[in-house]
Amino acid sequence: MFKFGLNYKKANNSLADMLEKIQAGNKTLKEQFIKDNILYITKVVSNILGIYIDDKNSEEYSIGLSAFNEAIDNYDAQRNNDFFNYSYMVIKHRIIDNVRKNKKHGNVVLFSSIDENQDYESKVIASNSHYQLEKIEIKDELIRFEQQIKEFDISLADLITDSPKHKDSRLLSIKIARVIAEDDELFYKMIRKKRIPLSELLQKIKVNQKTVGRNRKFIIAVSLILRSNLDDIKDIVLSEERREKYV
């Protein structure tokens, strides 16, 4: 993954010792460490974004470089055994933050491009951005989410084919899901019965019964997401809701 620079490798018995000296104020050692890891930073940023970037005239590389510098300053050997694992996480979070702030990478279509034939590493929630932000950090959440919806006899493939395609239908279905998710009685009854408590729901929101039935799987899935700690998938749902309102 990386190579130690010759000078500071000889000068320090371990990476932790070297980082401790840097944090104590050894600017020369820090500059050398960063210089020796330019290739590492470039590869990490390229891997996160899914595209090649270089260290010349690249905003993303600059963000990665700044994040690597931040990782050096904040690294605590007592809390993190591997500096490079730690630096990877810092870089990843800073790159993700930047992509999220960049509106041109913000168009997300919920559940529209999950391929059941792909392995979990390549399953993503679709984005028209070539960065495919969701591929970065959503894999583990998708695994947990799939386990949850299986209890309702719902698969990821079902969400591809059965999710509402029209904007108004998606917004209404998310609204219905929100009513369920925000009402403890409705939500826990859904959890127990493994179905939408239709009669109780219709007392809370005026909606056509057929609409609920037609979009049942999507509504259940979104309800589960909204009540979950699946933060990245939840963020996609909320982004979808915001985007649809203004498209």
Cβ–Cβ < 8 Å for 121, 162: no
Q: Which of 86, 101, 116 is where one domain is finished? A: 101
Q: Is residue 109 part of a domain?
A: no
As a whole number of angstroms, the distance between CA 226 and CA 244 comes to 17
Render pLDDT for 155-208 as a digit per residue (tens, 0 to 9): 888 887 878 888 888 889 999 999 999 999 999 999 999 999 999 999 999 999
pLDDT score of 199: 92
- Pairwise pLDDT comparison (181 vs 132), residue with the higher score: 181
Q: Is 55 exposed, middle or buried (0-12, 13-18, 19+ CB in 10 A)?
A: middle
pLDDT score of 242: 67
pLDDT score of 186: 94
80 and 147 housed in the same domain:
no
The answer, yes or no, to whether residue 26 has pLDDT greater than 60, is yes
162 and 93 housed in the same domain:
no
Render pLDDT for 76-117 as a digit per residue (tens, 0 to 9): 888 877 889 889 989 988 888 777 666 443 444 456 544 444
Give the contacts of 174 (CB within 8 A, at least 6 positions apart): 222, 237, 240, 241
Q: Is residue 114 part of a domain?
A: no
157 and 83 housed in the same domain:
no
Q: Is residue 115 part of a domain?
A: no
Mean pLDDT across the chain: 77
Q: At 25, which CATH number? A: 1.10.1740
Q: Is residue 120 part of a domain?
A: no
Q: Is residue 72 part of a domain?
A: yes
234 and 138 housed in the same domain:
yes
Q: Which of 101, 121, 156 is where one domain is finished? A: 101
Cβ–Cβ < 8 Å for 31, 65: no
pLDDT score of 165: 80
157 and 52 housed in the same domain:
no
Torsion of CA 158, 160, 164, 166, to 10 degrees: -160
| 72-77: long-range contacts, CB 8 A cutoff, minimum separation 24 | 72/19, 72/22, 72/23, 72/30, 72/33, 72/34, 73/23, 75/19, 75/23, 77/16, 77/19, 77/20
Q: Is residue 116 part of a domain?
A: no
Q: What is the pTM of this model?
A: 0.49
- What is the DSSP secondary structure assignment for residue 229, as one 8-state letter? S
As a whole number of angstroms, the distance between CA 110 and CA 27 comes to 47
pLDDT score of 118: 41
- What is the DSSP secondary structure assignment for residue 172, as one 8-state letter? H
146 and 55 housed in the same domain:
no
| Confidence label for 19 from pLDDT (cuts 50, 70 and 90) | very high
Range with lowest mean pLDDT among 27-36, 53-62, 173-182, 201-210: 53-62
Cβ–Cβ < 8 Å for 143, 149: no
Mapping DSSP onto H, E and C, the string for 72-131 reads HHHCCCCCCCCHHHHHHHHHHHHHHHHHHHCHHHCCECCCCCCCCCCCCCCCCCCECCCC
Give the domain range for residue 174.
Answer: 133-246
Q: Which of 57, 86, 101 is where one domain is finished? A: 101
164 and 205 housed in the same domain:
yes
> What is the domain count for the chain?
2
Q: Is residue 63 part of a domain?
A: yes
160 and 59 housed in the same domain:
no
The answer, yes or no, to whether residue 153 has pLDDT greater than 50, is yes
179 and 236 housed in the same domain:
yes
Q: Is residue 140 part of a domain?
A: yes
78 and 162 housed in the same domain:
no
